[in-house]
Amino acid sequence: MKILLTLFAFFWAFAGGSAALAAEQQPVTYKPDITFTLRTSIADGKLVYIGDAGAIAGKVNPDLHVPSNAVVQINVINGDGAIHDIAVPEFGAKSDNITGKGSATAIVLRASKDGTFEYLCTLPGHKAAGMFGKLIVGDPKQAAPSNALDVSQDPTQVGTPVGKRGPQTHTVDLETTEVVGQLTNGSTYKYWTFNNKVPGPFIRVRVGDTVKVNLTNAKEAAHIHSVDFHAVTGPGGGAAVTQAAPGQTKSFTFKAMHPGLYVYHCATPMVAQHITNGMYGMILVEPEGGLSKVDREFYVMQGELYTAQKHGSQGLQEFSLEKLLDENPEHLMFNGTMSALTEKYKLQAKVGETVRIFFGVGGPNLASSFHVIGEIFDKVYKHASLTSPPLTNVQTTLVPPGGATMVEFKVDVPGNYLLVDHALSRVEKGLSGVLEVTGKEDHTIFHSTEKIDPASGH
């Protein structure tokens, strides 16, 4: 009934009140030029709309393309049982609320102007939680192709295990760069990086190894850069001798004396600015005899960006010193960008495999309560101490900025598992990742009569 009243109100305005009144004895019928059906759901830890039919079926927050001046109907089916609505504010269209799973509503509008407009759920917090998409009318002018780099770090790039070899000498070449990188779809940021990636390369050595570090600051850079390895015993962890001006190369050599998983970062004043812009990474110093064998290893680091623009803004995001000093980041991410571990590089494993995650916090300010939703860490090497007995059966582990941990767990049930900081409001600022587990179900471990939606994992 509410849908019918909404449609009647639209055509009263569309046809003109007096014309509708003159024809009140005649039934009002119409056929929209284009119809979309969306279903509310939860995907990758976010509230979303999912296309329910046609070309948008299964797509999360799909772009809705419509011709100029078309009459558009958008149907919404409640797929998760929470309260939702849908609106396109630019055209004054807003539905009623739907509250029960399976309930539905609709809006109808005339796409009277070309451009890109937002559709969203107007319930408090729902847009921030992910319920918004684009209504694209006509053929709006396409933005020039972005030349922004993909700075997100591949989590599978973990180097070669040392095994049972003896000490060796290694050379590590790092280049510091200042590049415009893609933060998320439609937005960019001027990152400062090691080797054009955030975090920088994962360095893997053995206790007793001799490591020569060559740090080159790109000639195009506008700032001095350096590197401080937490694994180094020496002045500034190497930073005291690697303050390199643009175009310069500085070098030093150190002996890896202590097993562990350590953060490295730029240590040029102001240090926090260099770190937040992306200048951090990790070095693993394996103990004698190496680490135990596992099936999958992943490299994940958490970071923060402090921008003048609000989270979700389009275009180039500019650094905000004020927000940095207030420790109020607009964006948080794993491996450099908003979608690094949810779209670009989802972690993947198979049922029965043992997963190891090398996890660190670049920061520069916020600690992480690292958690994988739906899993329990079989082993946690607290503070990344590889020579201490690991903790067992841990739900969430605390990692300070500039700190690290190593966790291991066997995956027993197929599905999508979210990597989060359990300070969960940070998910709304971009901090989430996905571990996809495939394989045979074991109903003795987990069984549900509820059908799982493969698009959402729910």
The span from the CA of 302 to the CA of 198, in Å, is: 10
| Residue list, annotated binding site for Cu cation | 225, 230, 265-266, 274, 279, 422
CB atoms closer than 10 angstroms to residue 210: 14
Give yes or no for a contact between 272 and 300, defined as CB atoms under 8 angstroms apart.
no
| Residue list, annotated binding site | 225, 230, 265-266, 274, 279, 422
Nearest to 201 by CA among 214, 210, 184: 214
Dig out the tokens for 349 from the structure.
Answer: 């494993």
Q: Does domain 31-137 have CATH number 2.60.40.420?
A: yes
pLDDT tens digits for 68-82?
999 999 999 999 999
- Fold classified for 169-286: Immunoglobulin-like (2.60.40)
Q: Does domain 296-438 have CATH number 1.10.286.10?
A: no
Give yes or no for a contact between 233 and 210, defined as CB atoms under 8 angstroms apart.
no
The b/e string for 401-440 (b: 16+ C-beta within 10 A; e otherwise) is bbbbbbbbbebbbbbbbbbbbeeeebbbbbbbbbbebeee
pLDDT in tens, the chain (458 residues): 344 434 444 443 444 333 333 334 455 556 899 999 999 998 877 899 999 988 999 999 999 999 999 999 999 999 999 999 999 999 999 999 999 999 999 999 999 999 999 999 999 889 878 899 999 999 866 545 568 999 999 999 999 999 999 999 999 999 999 999 999 988 999 999 999 999 999 999 999 999 999 999 999 999 999 999 999 999 999 999 999 999 999 999 999 999 999 999 999 999 999 999 999 999 999 999 999 999 999 999 999 999 999 988 889 999 999 999 999 999 999 999 999 999 999 999 999 999 999 999 999 999 999 999 999 999 999 999 999 999 999 999 999 999 999 999 999 999 999 999 999 999 889 999 999 999 999 999 999 876 555 444 44
Domain boundaries, the chain: 31-137, 169-286, 296-438
The span from the CA of 245 to the CA of 223, in Å, is: 7
Q: In degrees, to the nearest 5, what angle opens at C-alpha 384 toward C-alphas 383 and 390?
A: 90
The span from the CA of 436 to the CA of 417, in Å, is: 6
- On the question of a common fold for 31-137 and 296-438, the answer reads yes
CB atoms closer than 10 angstroms to residue 447: 9
